[in-house]
A and B are shown apart, each in its own frame.
Chain A
Amino acid sequence: MLLIHCPYCKESRDQSEFSPAGEAFIARPKSPEGISDEEWADYVFYRTNHKGNHWEQWVHSNGCRKYFLVERSTISHQILQVAPFGARNSETEL
Chain B
Amino acid sequence: MRLAQHPSHQVDYSKSLNFIFNNKRYKGYEGDTLASALLANDALLFTRSFKYGRKRGLIAAGVEEPNALVSLEIGGRYTPNLKATEIMLYDGLSAVSASNPNAFDIRAFIKPLHRFMPAGFYYKTFIKQKVWAKVEDSIRAFSGFSKAPTEEDVDVYDHIFHHAEVVVIGGGAAGISAALEVLNNSKKERVILVDERTQLGGELFNEFSSDEAAMTWHKDSVNRLLSFANEDSERFTLLTQSTAYAWHDQNYIEVLETITTAESLTSSEPQKARKIIHRIRAKEVILATGAHERPMLFEANDLTNIMLSQSVRRYLHEYGVISGKKVVIYGNNDSIYSTARDLHVNDIECIVVDVRSSEDPIEIVAELKHSGVKVLQGYSIVKALGSHRVKGVEIVQTKLQGNDWQVFGDTQTLSCDLLATSGGFNPVVHLDCHNGAKTYFDEVSQSFLPQQERDNREVCGAVAGASAWQDAINDGKNKAQFTLNALGTVSKLTQEILSENYSNYFNVSQFFTPKEILNKPKVFLDLQNDVTTLDVALSIREGYRSIEHIKRYTAMGFGTDQGKTGNINGIAVAAELMGIPMSEVGTTTFRPAYTGVDFGAMAGREIGDFFDPQRYTTIHDSHVASGAEFEVVGQWYRPWYYPKTGENIHQAVYRECLAVRTSLGMMDASTLGKIDVQGSDAREFLSRIYTNAWMKLAPGSCRYGLMCNEKGMIIDDGVSTCINDNHFIMTTTTGGAASVYSALEMWLQTEWSDLDVHLNSVTDQYSTVAVVGPNARKLVKLLCQDVDFERENFKFMQWRPGTVCGVDARIMRISFSGELAYEINVEANYGRYIWDQVAIAGEKWNITPYGTESMHVLRAEKGYIIVGQDTDGSMTPMDVNMSWILAKDKPFSYVGRRSFSISALCAEDRLQLVGLLTKDSSTVLPEGAHVIDNKGKSIGYVTSSYFSPILDRSIAMAQIQGGLAKMDETVLVKIVQKKQGLKEIPCEISSSVFYDIEGEKVDGND
* Interface residue B898 (Cβ < 8 Å from any Cβ of A): yes
B893 touches A44 (CB 8 A): no
For residue B746, give the distance in angstroms from its CB to the closest CB of chain A.
6
Residues of B within 8 A of A45 (CB): 711
* Binary contact readout A21-55 vs B (1 if CB under 8 angstroms, 0 otherwise): 10000011101110101001101110000000000
Is B742 on the interface with A (CB-CB < 8 A)?
Answer: yes
Partner of A32, one of B249, B252, B753, B897: B897
Contact A59 B746 (CB under 8 A): yes
**Contact yes or no, B742 A59, CB < 8 A:** yes
Complex Cα distance, B899 from A29, in Å, reads 13
Give CA–CA (A38, B751) in the complex, Å: 21
Residue pair B745, A57 in contact (C-beta under 8 Å): no
Contact A85 B252 (CB under 8 A): no
- Complex contact B898–A77 (CB within 8 A): no
Query: Is residue A90 contacting chain B, with contact meaning CB distance below 8 A?
Result: no
CB neighbours (8 Å) of A77 from chain B are 249-250
Task: Give the residues in chain B near A76, CB-CB below 8 Å.
Answer: 249, 436
Q: Known contacts A33-B893, A41-B902, A66-B749: does B281 contact A3 (CB below 8 Å)?
A: yes
Decide if B742 touches A40 in the complex (CB within 8 Å): no
Q: Knowing A3-B250, A78-B250 touch, does A44 contact B749 (C-beta < 8 A)?
A: no
**A2 in the interface (beta carbon within 8 A):** yes
Are B249 and A67 neighbours in the complex by a CB distance under 8 Å? no
- Interface pair B893/A57, CB less than 8 Å apart: no
A66 to B745 Cα, complex, angstroms = 8
Complex contacts, B281 vs chain A, CB 8 Å? 3, 14
Chain A residues near B898: list those with CB within 8 A: 29, 32-33, 35, 40
Rounded to whole angstroms, the CA-CA distance of A65 and B761 in the bound complex is 12
- Distance in angstroms from B93 CB to nearest chain A CB is 35
Give bound CA distance, A27 to B893, whole Å. Answer: 14
Interface assignment of A81: CB less than 8 Å from any CB of chain B: no
Instruction: Give the shortest distance, in Å, between A70 (CB) and chain B (any CB).
Output: 13
Bound CA–CA A59/B746 (angstroms): 9
Encoded as 1 (CB less than 8 Å from any A CB) or 0, chain B from 244 to 286 comes to 0000111010000000000000000000000000010100000
Q: Is the pair A59, B751 in contact by a Cβ cutoff of 8 Å? A: no
List the A side residues contacting B279 at CB < 8 Å: 1
Given the contacts A67-B745, A85-B749, A1 and B902 also touching, CB distance less than 8 Å: no
Number of interchain pairs (Cβ within 8 Å): 63
Q: Do A59 and B902 touch (CB < 8 A)?
A: no
- The secondary-structure label for the interface of chain B is helix
* Chain A residues with CB below 8 A from B436, complex form: 76
Interfacial chain B residues near A79, Cβ < 8 Å: 250
Q: Min CB distance, B576 to chain A, in Å?
A: 35
For chain B, residues 888 to 923, give those with C-beta under 8 angstroms from any C-beta of chain A: 893, 897-899, 901-903
A67-B250 Cα distance, complex, nearest whole Å:
22
Instruction: Answer whether A40 and B902 are a contact pair too, CB < 8 Å, given A31-B893, A59-B742.
Output: yes
**Residue in chain A with minimal CB distance to B250:** A3
- CA separation between A66 and B249, bound complex, in Å? 24
Residues of B within 8 A of A31 (CB): 893
Once the chains bind, are A65 and B745 in contact (CB under 8 Å)?
A: yes
Please tell me if B150 contacts chain A, counting CB pairs below 8 Å.
no
The answer to whether A3 and B893 have CB atoms under 8 Å apart is: no
Residue with the highest number of chain A CB atoms closer than 10 Å, among B250, B751, B898: B898
* Complexed CA–CA distance, A2 and B161 (Å): 14
Within 8 A of A (CB), among B726-781: 742, 745-746, 749-751, 753
Residues in A with CB closer than 8 Å to B745 are 59, 65, 67
Residue B969, interface by CB 8 Å: no
A51 CB to closest chain B CB (Å) equals 14
Let me know if A67 and B893 touch, CB within 8 A.
no
Judged by a CB distance under 8 angstroms, whether B788 is at the interface is no
- A21 CB to closest chain B CB (Å) equals 6
Least Cβ distance of B736 to chain A in Å? 16
Name the CB-closest residue of B to A4: B250
Interface flag for B710 (CB, 8 Å): yes
Contacts of B252 in A (CB 8 A): 1, 3
Q: Which residue of B lies closest to A12 (CB)?
A: B281
**Chain B 401-430 per-residue mask, 1 if CB under 8 angstroms from chain A, else 0:** 000000000000000000000000000000
Within 64-83 of A, Cβ neighbours of B (below 8 Å) are at 65-67, 76-79
Query: How many of chain B's residues have a CB under 8 angstroms from any CB in A?
Result: 24
Residues on B with beta carbons closer than 8 Å to the beta carbon of A21: 746, 750
Q: Which residue of B lies closest to A3 (CB)?
A: B250
A77 to B436: give the CA distance in the assembly, Å: 10
* Whole-angstrom distance between the Cβ of B59 and the nearest chain A Cβ: 35
Closest Cβ–Cβ distance, residue B924 to chain A (whole Å)? 39
Closest chain A CB from B246 CB (angstroms): 10
Q: Are B710 and A44 in contact (CB under 8 A)?
A: yes
Q: Select B250's contact among A1, A28, A43, A86, beta carbons within 8 Å.
A: A1
> What distance in Å separates the Cβ of B438 from its nearest Cβ neighbour in chain A?
13
- Taking CB atoms, residues of chain B closer than 8 Å to A3 are 250, 252, 281
The reply to whether B742 and A61 form a contact with Cβ atoms under 8 Å apart is yes
Given the known inter-chain contacts A3-B281, A77-B250, please indicate yes or no for A67 contacting B902, CB distance below 8 A: no
Beta-carbon contact of A1 and B893 below 8 Å: no
- With most chain A CB atoms within 10 A of its CB, the pick from B745, B750, B899, B903 is B750
A21 to B249, CA, bound (A): 20
Residues of A within 8 A of B753 (CB): 85-86
Give per-residue flags for B697-715: 1 if the beta carbon is below 8 A from chain A beta carbons, else 0.
0000000000000110000
In the complex the two chains form, what is the Cα distance from A24 to B902 in whole Å? 25
What is the minimal beta-carbon distance from B887 to any residue of chain A, in angstroms?
Answer: 13
List the B side residues contacting A59 at CB < 8 Å: 742, 745-746
Write out the residue numbers on chain B whose beta carbons fall within 8 Å of the beta carbon of A28. 710, 751
Chain B residues in 8 Å Cβ range of A86: 753
- Alpha-carbon distance A78/B252, docked complex (angstroms): 12
- Write the nearest CB–CB distance from B422 to chain A, whole angstroms: 37
Shortest B457–chain A CB gap in Å is 13
Residue on A nearest B249 in the bound complex, by CB: A77
A30–B907 Cα distance when bound, in Å, is: 27
Q: Give complex CA distance A61, B898 in Å.
A: 29
User: Shortest beta-carbon distance, A36 to chain B, in Å?
Assistant: 10
* B residues 865-897 touching A (CB-CB < 8 Å): 893, 897
- Specify which chain B residues have a CB less than 8 angstroms from the CB of A32 in the assembled complex: 893, 897-898
Closest Cβ of chain B to A17, distance in Å, is 12
Per-position binary interface string of chain B over residues 104-138, scored 1 when its CB falls under 8 Å from any chain A CB and 0 otherwise: 00000000000000000000000000000000000
Q: Is the CB of B711 within 8 A of A85?
A: no
Please indicate the chain A residues that have their CB under 8 angstroms from the CB of B902 in the complex. Answer: 37, 40-41
Chain A residues near B897 (CB-CB < 8 A): 32-33
- Measured in the bound complex, the distance between the Cα atoms of B749 and A43 in whole Å is 18
The distance in angstroms between the C-alpha atoms of A61 and B745, with both chains bound, is: 11
In Å, the complex CA distance between A67 and B746 comes to 7
Distance, CA A3 to CA B162, complexed state (A): 13
Q: How far is the CA of A28 from the CA of B899 in the complex (A)?
A: 13
CB distance from A25 to the nearest CB of B (A): 10
Name the A residues within 8 Å of B901 (CB-CB): 37
| Bound-state Cα–Cα, A86 to B250, Å | 27
Chain A residue nearest in CB terms to B251: A3
Inter-chain CA distance A38–B70, complex, in Å, is: 61
The 3 nearest A-B residue pairs measured at CB:
A32-B898, A77-B249, A32-B893
Give me the interface of B with A, judged by CB distance under 8 Å: 161, 248-250, 252, 279, 281, 436, 710-711, 742, 745-746, 749-751, 753, 893, 897-899, 901-903
A sample of 14 cross-chain residue pairs with beta-carbon separation below 8 angstroms, ordered by A number, consists of A1-B279, A19-B742, A21-B746, A29-B898, A32-B897, A37-B902, A44-B899, A59-B745, A66-B749, A67-B750, A76-B436, A79-B250, A85-B749, A86-B753
Kindly list 17 other residue pairs between chains A and B, CB separation below 8 angstroms, not including A44-B711, A57-B750.
A1-B249, A1-B252, A2-B250, A3-B252, A3-B281, A14-B161, A19-B742, A29-B898, A37-B901, A40-B898, A40-B899, A43-B710, A44-B710, A59-B742, A59-B745, A65-B742, A76-B436
